[in-house]
Amino acid sequence: MRVARRRREHERQAVVFGLLIAFLLMAALGALAAYSGAISTPFSRPVYTPVAAVPQPEPCLPPVEGQPDGALPVAYEKIKVRVFNASETGGVANANAEVLEERGFNVTSTGNMNSQVEESELRFGTKGITRAYTVAAQIPDVRLVLDDRKGASVDLLVGNRYSPPLDEEQVLLTADTPMQDVQGCLAADEITPIPAEKPAQAVKTAA
């Protein structure tokens, strides 16, 4: 009886050790295959890290004929401005348009954009850079965005994190003092303009 019992125990031990050795051998072969690239594993896949969009550089002021010391502000009445709401807050386009009109800007229309922006933006073409800088002096925390329009008009897009226009006495512009480039700007010919965006709705203001 003892001999038979011992024989069965040895047989069970042999089976257990055999299975353990087979498992370890398969694990080793799998690890070798994964290391050599023969099979793919979840850990061998590259980790995807979303890349944040890099904002377009803001354009520098262009040289202006007859203004060798730098571009001077443009007379407000010569600047055509459209004001659009690009935020979740209603009424901000009209509120900004009223302030600009009171200061003498030629506000031609107001309305809503199809898309929203976080920071307020001034959008314009290469012919409107000095005009955009003149408008930007009225509004804190506004980005200058070059688009591919052909004319000199300027669009103000009021964003979700908008700041109201400065009080008029806080606007640091004088007719005979050249304006300053925004920090980190590039020459316009080094910037790829974005496509000019059409508004969802635009209402002409009274002449």
State how far Cα 200 lies from the chain centre. Answer: 20
Amino acid 19 reads L
pLDDT per residue as tens digits for the range 126-154: 999 999 999 999 999 999 999 999 999 99
> Would you state the pLDDT for residue 201?
76
Q: Which two tokens stand for residue 13?
A: 């031990």
Residues 85 and 135: their CA atoms lie apart, in Å, by 16
pLDDT value at 200 more than 70 = yes
Better-scored residue on pLDDT, 157 or 38: 157
- Local structure of 123: helix, strand or coil: strand
Tens-digit pLDDT profile for residues 29-73: 666 655 555 555 444 444 444 444 678 999 999 999 999 999 999
Distance CA 139, CA 76 (A): 14
Higher pLDDT, 39 or 80: 80
DSSP-H helix ranges across 103-158: 129-136
Alpha-carbon distance of 8 to 13, in angstroms, equals 9
For the cut 60, the answer to whether the pLDDT of residue 15 exceeds it is no
| E strand or H helix at 25 | helix 2-36
Three-class SS state of 95: helix
Q: Is the Cβ–Cβ distance between 166 and 140 less than 8 Å?
A: yes
SS3 call for 136: helix
Fold category of 76-204 in CATH: Alpha-Beta Plaits (3.30.70)
Mean pLDDT, all residues of the chain: 85
Task: Provide the pLDDT confidence category of residue 16 given band limits of 50, 70 and 90.
Answer: low
What local confidence, expressed as pLDDT, does residue 34 receive?
56
What would the mean pLDDT of 89-99 be, rounded to a whole number?
96
> Bridge-partner residues for 201, per DSSP?
112
pLDDT value of position 202: 74
Range among 7-21, 30-44, 77-91 rated most confident: 77-91
Tokens at residue 203, please?
């209402």
Structure tokens at 48: 């995807």
Mean pLDDT on 72-82: 98
